[in-house]
Amino acid sequence: MLGWSINLFRIRGIRISLHFSFLLLLAYVCDEGWREAGLPGLLWSAGIFLAFFTCVVLHELGHSLTAMRFGVTVRRILLMPIGGMAEFDRIPRKPSQELLITIAGPAVNFVIAGVLWLIVGLPGAADDDSMAMSFKALAQVLALWNIRIGLFNLIPAFPMDGGRILRAFLAMRLPYLRATYWAAMVAKVVTVPGALIELYRGNYFAVAIFVFIFIAGQAEYQAVKRREEDDRWREALIQHVVSTPGEEPPLLNG
């Protein structure tokens, strides 16, 4: 469904893959850098781009390594221009587990920002050496960007992290399907106006992200609903089999 991708390497058994559109974006960024300042511009742009996406991988690893502690198999982390996606074989039904797995992602971004600020200090401090200055500026931009990514992911638009956290809290009180329904509902309330505002502002990349979240939220709600119906059907069959009297072996379709 997600088309062509290339595998980079494995971390603790998790494949890290690049979607081909990611490579297109990298090529675009390198081209912009080249036009602006030749080879140094190209290297600088590529470096910044890769630094940002390393943080995206670390965010997904936060989710993945926490999930693995709960026995979830993580097939791969796929990098796309809109961000990363960790592919789990299942999402734990226990709200407390989903909560911890979800919080681990944005927590990684906040930790990265904190560590970068500890190393280079908060923005504003002057530096004489221009090379050190530019690295410092980059680290500060990267720190700020991590804060933004961490906060953006906490927007309660299921299946974004904030939406999953909301579902986990709801699932502590409501049946799982109901909790998912309300989380997906809140996501609609957030993404539709969000997309319209960004459309008005001409920010088409943000519009695409909101549309993607909207579709993904609905798809995941439908998947949970289907699974729930399957489970109920299976349970009904078992009940039927259990309650069938007689010495004959019970037939499922009897």
The nearer residue to Zn ion, 120 or 190, going by C-beta atoms, is 190
Cβ partners under 8 Å of residue 69, min gap 6: none
CA end-to-end distance (rounded Å), the chain: 39
Rounded to whole angstroms, the Cα distance separating 162 from 156 reads: 4
Residue 133 Cβ vs Zn ion, minimum distance, rounded to whole Å: 32
Interactions with Zn ion, residue window 179-208 (CB under 5 A): none
Is 237 strand, coil or helix?
helix
The nearer residue to Zn ion, 16 or 199, going by C-beta atoms, is 16
Q: Are 110 and 146 within 8 A, CB to CB? A: yes
Q: How many residues bind Zn ion (CB under 5 A)?
A: 3
Residue 59 Cβ vs Zn ion, minimum distance, rounded to whole Å: 6
Is 104 strand, coil or helix?
helix
Interactions with Zn ion, residue window 28-87 (CB under 5 A): none
The nearer residue to Zn ion, 105 or 163, going by C-beta atoms, is 105
Q: How many CB atoms lie within 10 A of CB 232?
A: 10
Annotated catalytic residue within 36, 60, 87, 235: 60
Nearest to Zn ion by Cβ — which residue?
A: 105
60 is catalytic: yes
Q: Which of 86, 58, 59 is nearest to 73 (CA)?
A: 86
Q: Which of 107, 108, 137 is nearest to 121 (CA)?
A: 137
The nearer residue to Zn ion, 12 or 173, going by C-beta atoms, is 12
Q: Contact with Zn ion (CB under 5 A): which of 49, 66, 116, 161?
A: 161
Residue 210 Cβ vs Zn ion, minimum distance, rounded to whole Å: 16
Using CB under 5 A, which of the segments 71-79, 87-95, 131-139, 150-158 binds Zn ion?
A: 150-158
Using CB under 5 A, which of the segments 147-155, 212-220, 229-237, 241-249 binds Zn ion?
A: 147-155
Residue-wise DSSP of 69-83: HTT--EEEEEEETTE
The nearer residue to Zn ion, 17 or 140, going by C-beta atoms, is 17
Cβ partners under 8 Å of residue 191, min gap 6: 157, 210, 211, 213, 214, 217
**Residue 105 binding Zn ion, by CB under 5 A:** yes
**Residue 220 binding Zn ion, by CB under 5 A:** no
Q: Which residues bind Zn ion (CB under 5 A)?
A: 105, 153, 161
Catalytic residues: 60
